[in-house]
Amino acid sequence: MSEFIDPSRGEFVGDGVPRTAGGQPYDPMTNRVLPATVSVCSGGYRAFRSLDGFVSHRLRMVDFLPLGVGHTLFSGDGALGKSSVAQRLAYRVATGTSSGAWSGEAHGVLFILSEDGGGDVKNAMSAYGMNDTSNVYVYTEATDPTLEDAEAATVRLPDDIPYLREMCRRLDIRLIIIDALSDSMAGMNLNRHADVGAVVTELGHWSQNDDVLVIGIHHNGKSMTRAKLSPVGSEAFTNKSRTLVSFEKTDDDHYVFQLTKANRIKGNPSYEYHFAERTVFSDEGPTPVGIIDSITPTDMDVDAIRASKAEFAAQTEEEGNPAREFILDYLNEQGGESPAKDILREGRAQGFNETELKNARGRSRDPRIVTRKSGGTGKGWVWAIEEGSQSIISSPAPSQPASMTPLTSLSAPNDLTMTPLSENTKGIMGGNKTPLSQYPDDVDFTALTADQLDALSRRPGLWPMKVHEERNRRLRAAA
């Protein structure tokens, strides 16, 4: 039964929608009659709109980046030049020398800084030969409206986006660089998908609706997995960004960035960039400034570079695998064992992903890190340093040094039982069923394959140490 709110005008809201006496929806705030498919909502109006009412766009580029498609994330380790690449793009946009959609058009640039100051950006623009920097802006905060004490500051996202958008429209600012993005998200949990997603989504809407480039500069975690999984914090940093630019450096000092996520670009183009040093005359006198001298296409792949580094790290994990070291440090602090879920949670906060942590646990040989049920119904799994490990020294028995094992606990040599390697690892020795010597000193380790070394590293006694020495020898020979 329809309920009339104003019988004199004949309006009713039987289905929750204000209507005229004739049943036509209308806006009671403006008295505007609405189309039958439109209704009022808290943010304005809502409706199902036909595709005929939308404008389709062609792909437009500004140098190497797609324009107006959403938020762009620059991610990589420190000291790779992410900020420098962004500064070079800023110079080209501000001077009208960029290629693509803005070729020949100069537009304003905004820097939101938390790691560098405005003076550093000014020196960089000078190093590129830019004399008039009146259309390059820095977000500042001050106590006086004259801005005499203004200092570069970061913003509070997403709350400040409406203010930023309005100011950028007024000043024709089309490139916005947030360095560093995470510093503008104060108070948010960077590992929480909802928190990060809310910010990156709003930055994406800004880019799409105002046809601007919004670049957030971010750091990688410690993980050496695929580049898309590397930005520290929630996966929303990657998932909600429309373009991901991943930065890496090869072992022979080639600097590379790659569009590892770019929805509308064919393939994942890579570029090599080269540094140069210029001397500029700052307000305090001459000073050297590092800039990006050139950016050229390359066939180097960021994931391939990362895989090579990960392989090397795996080969030398006994000398210091970051994920393994983290697990051992954490377990030592917890007395030798801890619930697996606690280790994984803390590891993610330190920049590792779950796969890397589990692989590091499984590959640790000296000491071994075992996993077992903690006991009791409903109890979870724990990770623990294997009893007798060198990583934890138990309280000594009376009259026995803590670092020594009582001689009475050792078996005589003739009591040792050694299983031939060919029986333990069928097929690894290439079908050779001749038992390997019981004693490491009798084996020529230089003649063994990597698989054979891996198998020997699991044997007790001096075998792991001898394998470790051989692996180090091979790494030095390959260097």
**For 34-81, what is each residue's pLDDT tens digit?**
776 777 777 677 878 778 878 888 899 999 999 999 999 999 998 899
Round to whole Å and give the CA distance between 347 and 357: 7
Please state the pTM of the whole predicted model: 0.62
Q: Where are the alpha helices (DSSP H) in 276-394?
A: 302-315, 322-333, 340-349, 354-363
Round to whole Å and give the CA distance between 392 and 86: 48
Residue ranges, CATH 3.40.50.300, the chain: 61-303
Does CATH place domain 316-387 in 1.10.10?
yes
Instruction: Report pLDDT for 293.
Output: 94
Tally the C-alpha atoms within 13 A of residue 242's C-alpha that lie toward its C-beta: 21
* 62: exposed, middle or buried (Cβ count in 10 Å: 0-12, 13-18, 19+): buried
Residue ranges, CATH 1.10.10, the chain: 316-387
* 21: exposed, middle or buried (Cβ count in 10 Å: 0-12, 13-18, 19+): exposed
CATH topology (fold) of 61-303: Rossmann fold (3.40.50)
Residues 6+ apart with CB under 8 A from 112: 138, 139, 154, 155, 176, 177, 178, 179, 184
Round to whole Å and give the CA distance between 319 and 477: 17
Instruction: Report pLDDT for 110.
Output: 97
Are 243 and 72 a contacting pair, CB within 8 Å?
yes
Instruction: Report pLDDT for 206.
Output: 97
Residues 6+ apart with CB under 8 A from 99: 61, 62, 63
Per-residue CA distances from 175 to 88, 90, 121, 238, 313 (Å)? 12, 7, 15, 20, 38
Instruction: Report pLDDT for 419.
Output: 33
Instruction: Assess whether the previous peptide bond of 367 is cis (omega < 30° from 0).
Output: yes
Residues 6+ apart with CB under 8 A from 103: 96
Are 102 and 174 a contacting pair, CB within 8 Å?
yes
Round to whole Å and give the CA distance between 140 and 164: 12
Residue ranges, the chain, pLDDT below 70: 1-17, 21-23, 25, 36, 43, 223-224, 312-320, 375-379, 388-442, 458-465, 479
